[in-house]
Structures are given as C-alpha cells and as structure tokens.
C-alpha cells in the first residue's frame, strides 16, 4: 500500500520502530489473560481509560476501540471508554477517569485548550497520559508521554495531491466539526498541494441529513465544483448521495476507511481515501501505557509515532477488504 510518511526520515524511522514493536506485541493471544499466564515482571492488573472527542455510532472510533480492546486483552488491562464532542465535557470525562484512580489515560486533543487544566491535574497525580488521533503539536506541551496518529498537515497535503491527480480544479473541503484543529489542518494541508481552488464548507456533522442538504445546495449553486474532500468515511457516503442527486460530476476523496468505503472505492464511486490506521492508534496507545508501567518504555523518542497517512485507491483497496470486513481497517 502506497504511503506518504517517507517525507520525513525521522518520522519514517519512528513509524518503523513502532510498527516492529507493535507487530511483536500482536503475536500474543487476543484473549484475556489469567493471572498464571501473565508474563514475569508484568506487575498488577492495570486500569486504563480512553476519552475521545467523538465515538458513539462512528465507524472510525469503533475501529480505534477494537485496537485498544485487543491490546487490553493481551496486556491484562481493564479498559474504560467514554467520549464527548464538547471540549469541556470531554475534560470532565477525563476528570471522572482520574477520580476512578486509573493507571493511565488515553485522550484526543481536538480542542486542546479545553484539556489543559485536567491534564495538568493528571500530571500532578502522576497519571501518565498518551494522546491519539488529534493534537500532535500540543501533545508533549500538555505533558503526554507519546502521541499516536498521523501528521494532519502532511495527510492534508497528500489529499490535495490526490485531488489534483484525479483532475479536480475547484473543490470543497467538508469540515464536519468547527474548532477541531486536526480537521482544520487537513484542509490547510490540502490547499498547499491542490493547485486549484479549494474552499472549506462547514457542516453540522452530528446531523447527516443536514450535511447532505448543505452539500446538495452547494453543488446546485456552483456547477463548477468538480471535487469534494470529506474528512471522515460517513461523510464520503453522504457526498456520494449528494453528487447523484444533483447530477454533479464531482469526484470524491476522503479521509479514513470502513467496510462500505472500501466497496465504494472498488466501484469507483469514491476516488481515494487517506488512511491513518485507527486500529493501530488504539492498540499502540494501550500498549505504550502498559510498557511504560511495566518496563519504563516510551515509544517515539519524544516525537509522534505516525500511523499514517497512506493512500487507498481502486488499485489497492482489495488488499484491505478482508480487514475492513472484520472491522479492523
């Protein structure tokens, strides 16, 4: 599968080192470990909480959780999960996890300013924090020991390049959550490499009929739009519907994968997807906290551990189909 993380040598080395270690970890049984099966020196059972800015009913976060739960089962970890798109409420969920005396916290930083105070309290309580998915630039500043995800700016640049390759000249970047720094970085990165006219279209991501209505209205108002870049798999499917309804010729690219999206790429309804491997984000974050607690290990050497981006097109989508069908890609 073709990727773009070779753009930075240090980034590429971090990815390869992490991938090798995680691959070794993945060889263990995925079932829960009994006490007599716990490796020598593994220590007591850990309790780890993951708190994200999105979750319920989202296929992306379902995949993140599958990865985290697989690592938790292997590592004999009690895994707790909660999510809220509101930054203040997400911070409250992190505080609730601290109140439960967790041994580690995994958190997203879509709205980093809202998380500053509660992560400072985590540091004061000596509870290690790992960040995933969003907020790579803010991760170390807010005290996290490691970050797992893609560089959103680089991922955006890759998407802009792909938009240009499919011949688009005037495109929309559909932002489904205002104030999310990761989504904004994607669109900004795409604008750098696209070479054409790329406009941000803000939609209400919690209401898919409204998303479709906004896209449909924009396509009807501007017949010159020939490209659409969505920032999540469910929004790509909605964009396909909007294009069909309006008779638009716009080509569609997106971020992230799921089973239905793989089928749409194979059929040509969607031109490409930028994959950041969410399963690896969840798996790696749990494994990192287990390794830190039991062996003092920190992955990444102080730099983000990149899980993407990689470009999925009609040419290589079939290679991922079996994994997508089981809900891990």
Taking only the tens place, the pLDDT of each residue in 229-257 is: 999 999 999 999 999 999 999 999 999 99
Sheet containing strand 305-306, edge to edge, reads: 77-83, 46-52, 104-107, 129-132, 146-149, 305-306
Q: Which pLDDT value is given to residue 36?
A: 46
Tell me the C-alpha distance between 103 and 292, whole Å: 11
Question: Would you state the pLDDT for residue 8?
Answer: 41
Residues 6 or more apart in contact with residue 23 via CB below 8 angstroms: none
Output Rg (C-alpha) for the chain, integer angstroms. Answer: 20
What pLDDT is recorded for position 56? 64
Which residue segments constitute the domains of the chain, with CATH numbers given?
5-150+276-308 (3.40.50.2300), 152-275 (3.40.50.2300)
Of 253, 256, 266, the residue nearest 165 (C-alpha)? 253
What string of DSSP letters covers 54-89?
A: --TT-HHHHHHHHHHHHHHHHHTEEEEEEE-SSHHH
Look up the pTM and report it.
0.81
Per-run averaged pLDDT (10 residues), the chain, 329 residues? 39 41 39 48 83 84 96 97 96 98 97 97 98 94 97 96 97 93 95 98 92 97 98 95 97 95 96 97 98 96 93 96 93
Instruction: Give the 3-state secondary structure of residue 5.
Output: helix
User: What Cα–Cα distance (Å) separates residue 304 from each residue in 61, 138, 174, 233, 248?
Assistant: 20, 11, 26, 24, 39
Helix 208-221 with 233-246: angle, nearest 10 deg: 40
What pLDDT, on the 0 to 100 scale, is given for residue 244?
Answer: 97
For residue 86 the two structure tokens come to 């509101």
Q: Produce one character per residue of 124-150: b if its CB has 16 or more CB atoms within 10 Å, e if not.
A: eeebbbbbbbbbbbbbbebbbbbbbbb
Cβ count near 121 (within 10 Å): 14
Give residues with Cβ within 8 angstroms of 58, minimum separation 6. 232, 234
Residue 129's nearest CA partner among 94, 105, 93 is 105
> pLDDT tens-digit profile of 169-192?
999 999 998 888 889 999 999 999
The closest of 160, 217, 224, 148 to 186, measured between CA atoms, is 160
């Amino acid at each position: 599968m073709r990727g773009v993380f070779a753009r930075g040598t240090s980034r590429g080395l971090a990815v390869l080192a992490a991938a090798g270690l995680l691959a070794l970890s993945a060889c263990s049984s995925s079932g829960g470990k009994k006490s007599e099966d716990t490796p020598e020196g593994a220590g007591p059972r850990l309790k780890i909480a993951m708190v994200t800015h999105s979750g319920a009913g989202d296929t992306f976060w379902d995949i993140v959780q599958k990865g985290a739960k697989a690592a938790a089962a292997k590592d004999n970890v009690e895994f707790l999960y909660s999510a809220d798109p509101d930054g203040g409420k997400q911070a409250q969920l992190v505080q609730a996890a601290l109140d439960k005396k967790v041994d580690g916290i995994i958190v997203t930083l879509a709205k980093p300013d809202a998380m500053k105070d509660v992560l400072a309290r985590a540091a004061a309580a000596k509870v290690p924090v790992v960040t995933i998915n969003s907020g790579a630039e803010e991760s170390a500043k807010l005290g996290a020991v490691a970050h797992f995800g893609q560089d959103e700016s680089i991922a955006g640049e890759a998407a802009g390049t792909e938009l240009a390759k499919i011949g688009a000249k005037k495109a929309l970047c559909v932002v489904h959550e205002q104030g999310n720094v990761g989504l904004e970085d994607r669109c900004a990165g795409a604008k750098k490499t696209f070479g054409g006219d790329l406009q941000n279209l803000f939609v209400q991501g919690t209401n898919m009929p409204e998303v479709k209505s906004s896209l449909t209205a924009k396509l009807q108002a501007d017949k010159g739009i020939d490209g659409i870049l969505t920032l999540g798999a469910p929004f790509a499917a909605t964009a396909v519907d909007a294009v069909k309804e309006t008779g638009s010729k716009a080509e569609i690219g997106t971020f992230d994968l799921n089973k239905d999206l793989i089928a749409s790429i194979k059929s040509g309804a969607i031109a490409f997807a930028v994959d950041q491997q969410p399963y690896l984000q969840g798996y790696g974050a749990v494994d990192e906290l287990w390794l830190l607690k039991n062996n003092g290990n920190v992955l990444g050497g102080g730099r983000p551990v990149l899980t993407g981006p990689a470009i999925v097109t009609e040419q290589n989508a079939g290679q991922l189909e079996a994994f997508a069908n089981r809900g891990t890609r």
